[in-house]
């Protein structure tokens, strides 16, 4: 069992990364082989709309034709048994680096077939982790639903874990952040965030089961 973990946050040790590490630890408990990839370490772009992935009989049919730092990552994801993607929500969406990754993962699979069949013959299970500094009532559920639908249709069975009202700064007094109670944020990070990580851990365990 091989699981690829994608950190879609610019922070390598932030909330999204911590949730991802928890999920990968859960997978390893089930004896899965895991690999973590930090998207912000890579130099790549989004879809170029070249349509080579849709050219019938073409060399790149069903695969992204672009060749850059993301090419190997896409190959690893499609060869894996499961993908875990963890990222924060900024202004109601994942960061641009994640959006570029999703374009190049999703678009080659979309055949425009009447039955919405995927060009990817192998199904890859997916775990999505979303973190957000706002409270749960502000969660962009429509975004999560859309992502889950796309992954489910194009890649494989998908489940979601979220963490809200997360800690951004060690010292809130140093930043423009009057909307937030820094001490309350710290307390939640110490008491609730470990529970969020535990949920990610359990998701990793589930994804690692045959």
Angle, helix 15-29 to helix 193-208, in steps of 10 degrees: 40
Q: What is the CATH number of domain 2-208?
A: 3.40.50.360
Beta strands in 132-207 (DSSP E): 158-163
pTM attached to this predicted model: 0.96
**pLDDT tens digits for 84-143?**
999 999 988 999 999 999 999 999 999 888 888 899 999 999 999 999 998 887 777 889
The dihedral through the CA atoms of 15, 11, 8, 126 has a sign that is negative
**pLDDT of amino acid 114:** 83
- DSSP code at position 92: T
Region at 119 (left for phi over 0; alpha for psi -120 to 50; beta for the rest): alpha
Three-class SS of residue 129? strand
The mean pLDDT value for 77-86 works out to 98
Residues 19-53: tens digit of each pLDDT: 999 999 999 999 999 999 999 999 999 999 999 99
The first and second tokens of residue 167, run together, are 């800690």
What is the predicted pLDDT for the residue at 192?
Answer: 98
Radius of gyration of the chain (CA): 18
Token representation of residue 122: 């192998």
d(CA 137, CA 150): 24
154-184 pLDDT per residue, tens: 999 999 999 999 999 999 999 999 989 999 9
> What is the percentage of the chain residues whose pLDDT exceeds 70?
100
| pLDDT given at position 141 | 85
Which DSSP string corresponds to 146-174? HHHHHHHHHT--EEEEEE-S----S-GGG
What ranges do the domains of the chain cover?
2-208
Cα 79 → chain centroid: 17
Helices 141-154 and 96-106 pack at an angle, to 10 degrees, of 30
Task: Give mean pLDDT, residues 73-90.
Answer: 97
The pLDDT, as a whole number, for residue 38 is: 98
- At residue 123, the 3 state secondary structure works out as coil
pLDDT of residue 134: 87
Dump pLDDT digits (tens) for 2-13: 999 999 999 999
């Amino acid at each position: 069992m091989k699981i690829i973990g994608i950190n879609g946050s610019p922070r390598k040790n932030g909330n999204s990364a911590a949730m991802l590490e928890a999920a990968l630890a859960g997978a390893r408990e089930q004896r899965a082989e895991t690999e973590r990839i930090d998207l912000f370490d890579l130099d790549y772009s989004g879809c170029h709309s070249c349509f080579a992935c849709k050219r019938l009989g073409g060399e790149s049919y069903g695969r992204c034709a672009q060749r850059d730092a993301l090419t190997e990552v896409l190959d690893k994801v499609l060869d894996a048994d499961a993908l875990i993607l963890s990222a924060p929500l900024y202004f109601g969406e994942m960061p641009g680096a994640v959006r570029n990754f999703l374009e190049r993962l999703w678009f080659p699979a979309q055949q425009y077939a009447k039955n919405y069949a995927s060009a990817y013959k192998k199904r890859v299970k997916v775990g999505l982790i979303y973190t957000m500094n706002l409270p749960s009532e502000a969660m962009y559920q429509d975004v999560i639903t859309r992502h889950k639908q796309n992954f489910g249709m194009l890649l494989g069975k998908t489940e979601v874990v979220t963490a809200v009202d997360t800690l951004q700064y060690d010292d809130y007094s140093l930043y423009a952040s009057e909307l937030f109670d820094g001490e309350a944020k710290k307390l939640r990070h110490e008491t609730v965030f470990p529970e969020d990580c535990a949920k990610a851990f359990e998701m990793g365990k589930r994804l690692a089961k045959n």
